[in-house]
Amino acid sequence: MSQTGKCAPSRFGLIEALSNPMLINPEVYMETIKILQKLIFGLTFCVMSGHAISKSEASISNKWQFSLSPLPHLSKWGNVMRHNKLFINLSESCEGSMGVFFGSKNREKLIQAEGKMLPFQFTVSLFEHTEVIQTESEVIYVLTDYLDGEETDFVMSVLLFTAFDNVNDLRPLSSYQMTTFNLTAEDNEIYDSPNENWDLDGFETALNNASDWCWEKQKRNFKHKGTETMNYVSL
């Protein structure tokens, strides 16, 4: 799969600084942590975008799914444009990072926007009530082919949105089937179809599967650490 930009670049001295926080002041240290989290998120999406969306996958039932391929994540296709996809990447401790594959037929303008901060309205709505989650996002990178490695009449941008300590923080939303996540691009010269939304159809089941996976991973890690401790003590 070709893409116009590379995955998140490395930053010299980043890991070294994090390994010895006494070398930098607290403000710089926290900013460095944020940079590292962003790089990890970007690299995760590089892996996920390399897992090309097939035409058969794009035709399946549009419900929330939990999958381990290529990395643990929850996802759902858009209700407006089927190629738009909302992702929640998961760690083994169920920490989550949310992002979107968001397409446009304005190929050149979107390609030129790669690496730039753009204004968006990313919200969650229930009936008449809407909460703003985020008002801008960097275009992390742009994919120029998307379906089965074939070039399409649109290009896909990868957008970075919110992160949270545990994906179960979203569980209260699953009680209300009318809840939607909504994305609006403020620049319709870049995004020809600037509005997208995702309902929560199948979200509770997918979330339960994700939580079960996290719990099993944590139990195995705890058991492994316990075994290592016992082996060390026996020495």
Q: What is the CATH number of the domain that holds 99?
A: 2.60.40
Nearest to 77 by CA among 96, 58, 90: 58
For residue range 192-212, list pLDDT tens digits in order.
999 999 999 999 999 999 999
How would you list the strands of the sheet with 96-104, edge to edge? 65-67, 73-77, 85-90, 96-104, 150-164, 129-147, 117-126, 180-185, 195-199
Task: Determine contact, residues 118/183, Cβ cutoff 8 Å.
Answer: no
Residue 21 buriedness (CB in 10 A; 0-12 / 13-18 / 19+)? middle
Q: How far, rounded to the nearest angstrom, does the alpha carbon of residue 18 sit from its chain's CA centroid?
A: 24
Residue 200 lies in a domain: yes
For residue 2, pLDDT beyond 60: no
- Asked if residue 177 belongs to a domain, the reply is yes
Q: Are 86 and 93 in contact (CB under 8 A)?
A: no
Q: Report the pLDDT value the prediction gives residue 152, as an integer from 0 to 100.
A: 74
* pLDDT at residue number 15: 33
Specify the range with the lowest mean pLDDT, choosing from 171-175, 184-188, 203-207: 171-175
Number of domains, the chain? 1
pLDDT for the residue 159? 93
Quote the CA–CA distance of 50 and 69 in Å, as a whole number.
11
Amino acid at 80: V
Tracing tokens 């010895």 back to the chain, one arrives at 20
Q: Please indicate, yes or no, if residue 215 is contained in any of the structural domains.
A: yes
* Domain-located, residue 41: no
More confident residue, 162 or 49: 162
The mean per-residue pLDDT over the stretch 87-114 comes to 92
Q: Quote the percentage of the chain above a pLDDT of 90.
A: 43
Is the distance from CB of 17 to CB of 23 less than 8 angstroms? Answer: yes
- Average pLDDT, whole number, for the chain? 76
Better-predicted residue by pLDDT, 180 or 220: 180
Residue 58 or residue 73, greater confidence: 73
Domain assignment present for 14: no
Asked whether residue 73 is domain-assigned, the answer is: yes
pTM of the model: 0.72
> Can you tell me the mean pLDDT for 44-57?
51
pLDDT band at 57 (very low <50, low <70, confident <90, very high): low
**Domain of residue 204, residue span:** 53-234
- Which of the pair, 223 or 137, is modelled with greater confidence? 137
pLDDT tens figures, 10-22 = 333 333 333 344 4
Lowest mean pLDDT, pick from 11-15, 55-59, 153-157, 225-229: 11-15
7-11, 21-25, 52-56, 147-151, range with greatest mean pLDDT: 147-151
In a domain, 1, yes or no: no
Q: Which one, of 119, 216, 105, 214, lies nearest residue 154 by Cα?
A: 105
- Asked whether 41 and 95 are in contact (CB, 8 A), the reply is no
